[in-house]
Amino acid sequence: MHQLNDLLSRLDGYIGGSQWFVFILLGTGLFFTIYLGFPQVRYFRHALKIVSGKFDKKGDVGDTSHFQALTTALSGTVGTGNIAGVALAIHLGGPAALFWMLVTAFFGMTTKFVEVTLSHKYRETADDGTIAGGPMYYMKNRLNFTRKNGKKIKVGIILGGVFAVCTILSSFGTGNLPQINSISNSIFATFGIKHMVTGGILAVLLAFVIIGGIKRIAKVTSKLVPAMALIYFIGALGVLFYNYENILPAISSVFSDVFTGSAALGGFIGASVRFAFNRGVNRGLFSNEAGQGSAPIAHAAARAHEPVSEGMVAILEPFVDTIIICFLTGITLLASGAWKEKYENTFQLTDMEIVEGVYMDQNTEDRAKLFDHIKGKQALALFTGDLNIEQGEIKGEVTILQDRSVAEDVKIYHDKDKLYSGLLPIVNGKPTDPSGTYTFIGKSLLSSAPLTTQAFTMGLFGSWGQYIVSIGLLLFAFSTAISWSYYGDRAVTYLWGTKYVMVYRIIYVAGFFVASFTDTTIIWTFSGIAIALMALPNLLGLLVLHREVKSTINQYWIDFKSEFPTERGS
């Protein structure tokens, strides 16, 4: 398992975790923002009118309303990224990572507008009568070229196929595996319910919803999204009101650390400008999915007589998902102070390293060495040999690093509840026991959903705050899994037709169950790779068709003003 995670981490470093991917993502949004004259600002009010149904027409073709398409797409984006993803970004990159999440969302509003417009324009009707759309369809229809000798080069068909395959992979890596994993971990931590039980119950519910197709999915998500947002807002505001004196310093740190990097605080070792930038943009994409090409699949099903209006509805997604919900989560984490404090937890071995020598994170010289080790500049020597354990305590000069922090008060248990005494073989900083019968428990920084859960207990609701996170995470993540099943089945429809959709749904539900008790770190690493593989062909297609996008928007305003002469547009 360690070797698999190391392999996936290296692959993610070359793709989604690399600087070039981050620049392509932000660069595409920046280009279209300037090229189209800041549509996320100019068309925002108009988008609100469209989603309200003001300009709907009888006879518009589609399976869902504007609002249902928006909530379906939002349910696909509002998930663990808003709870666990924000916490992970701040854990890795400090407060400045939240700033880059917001920047990603601002430019992502334009990217969403463009990709949804093109996907809606080239949507098709499947052989079962349902609407099928998404980036693979505009690629198939618009990215083929003809040479001077008349020979056609079917680049678009190839790109569309690549995108569809990546969509299926990403439906597991984004919408399925990390969602149920976060749910089961949170439910176990809060209520003590076993991961497998949670996975089994929710897998049955998931199957019931997705078998009904997009119409049932749209009905469920249109009710689920507002309810889950309200519950989550109440919990977050309870923390902020309780820690009101920390709100302004928290907001200040988000912007003041952008060009300096986040300094070491408490158990937090610190983060460089580059690392905060990379993690913030990466988690921003995971949260709002702008440029990934997933949301256009949901919007393609919307009842609309032309594509640009649906593209404008999509502008609202990153705003709600990241600029509102993620920012609220981030400020809650920072104001509570939970992000920089150590709490007792059970260590995940994939996040743990045992290094030679004793290092103290309160010592300036040691902290500098730890910082260089964590960011990969100068690695510390990993311990290899037999670790002497007496009544659960380590006897020897080693330091345990857990979740990028120096672990304290560590106890080692055997068979979960017995303090261990004896020798424990370690190779390259990791226990070698294949049966996994050794458990490390101690104090360290928290990340992902456990960090958000801890922060929500530090407010007006006290320990009840953990239930708000658990319920919120359950609703957020479950709705994401529902929406992503639809994205995957539209990709299957594109590749092989509707006859194989049911096979995909069965595999999707089975994967959902298995992931409920699978290692978290590997799942998050895999999701980062899947996101990047899906986004790259979509971003390429958008840039190639930039002129068509602009002409389509111009024609929309000509038609709109002739039909609604008294209505103010942009």
pLDDT in tens, 399-418: 999 888 899 999 999 876 78
Higher pLDDT pick, 209 / 138:
138
Percentage above 70 pLDDT, the chain: 89
Q: What is the pLDDT of residue 76?
A: 59
Q: Which domains does the chain have, with CATH numbers?
A: 2-341+456-557 (1.20.1740.10), 345-444 (no CATH)
Q: In this model, does residue 463 exceed pLDDT 60?
A: yes
Question: Where would I find the H helices in 174-194?
Answer: 177-191
Buried b vs exposed e over 388-422: b needs ≥16 C-beta within 10 Å?
A: ebeebebeeebbbbbbbbbbeebbbbbeeeeebee
Q: What is the pLDDT of residues 307-358, one digit of tens each?
A: 898 899 889 888 888 888 889 989 999 999 998 899 998 888 778 899 999 9
With a CB cutoff of 8 Å and minimum separation 6, the contacts of 564 are 55
**How many angstroms separate the Cα of 268 from the Cα of each of 109, 224, 334?**
32, 36, 12
pLDDT digits (tens, 9 = 90+) for 6-62: 777 777 767 766 678 878 888 999 999 999 999 999 999 988 888 887 776 766 665
**For position 301, what pLDDT does the model report?**
81
Q: Which of 165-179, 226-240, 384-398 has the highest mean pLDDT?
A: 384-398
> By three-state DSSP, how is residue 476 classified?
helix
For the segment 155-173, the average pLDDT, to the nearest whole number, is: 87
Cut 0.85: pTM above it: no
Confidence of residue 276 (pLDDT cuts 50, 70, 90): confident
- Range of 344-353, 393-402, 521-530 with top mean pLDDT: 393-402
d(CA 518, CA 289): 24
User: Do 177 and 511 contact (CB within 8 A), yes or no?
Assistant: yes
Query: What pLDDT score was predicted for residue 263?
Result: 72
- What's the confidence (pLDDT) of residue 348? 80
Whether 520 has a pLDDT exceeding 60, the answer reads no
At 331 the pLDDT is 94
